[in-house]
């Protein structure tokens, strides 16, 4: 029974780890043609909220293509 519970927990964790990345395509600006990749993972500094917002701003106002993982 413990093995079954462990396997179920493992499958759920693996499914959550494969979230689709957020991609913001850049517009015209000094960063046109450049790609920035952000890695969000720390809950203490709320990077899961702040990095997508920063990526959106860099894409919209500065032309960078941004990906948040």
pTM over 0.85: no
Bridge partners (DSSP) of residue 38 are 68
Within the chain, which residues score under 70 in pLDDT?
A: 1, 6-18
Give me the residue spans of the domains in the chain.
20-68
pLDDT tens-digit series, residues 47-59: 888 999 999 999 9
Question: How far apart (Å, rounded) are the C-alpha atoms in residues 64 and 46?
Answer: 22
φ/ψ of residue 35, rounded to 5 = -125, 125
End-to-end CA distance of the chain, in Å? 35
> Could you say which DSSP state residue 30 is in?
T
Provide the pLDDT for residue 52: 92
Provide the pLDDT for residue 60: 95
Using alpha carbons, select from 69, 56, 62, 68 the residue that is nearest to residue 27.
Answer: 62
């Amino acid at each position: 029974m413990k093995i079954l519970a462990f396997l179920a927990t493992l499958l759920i964790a693996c499914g959550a780890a494969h979230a689709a990345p957020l991609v913001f395509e850049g517009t015209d600006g000094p960063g046109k043609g450049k790609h920035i990749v952000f890695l969000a993972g720390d809950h203490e500094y709320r990077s899961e909220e702040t990095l997508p917002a920063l990526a959106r701003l860099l894409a919209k106002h500065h032309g960078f293509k941004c990906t948040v993982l």
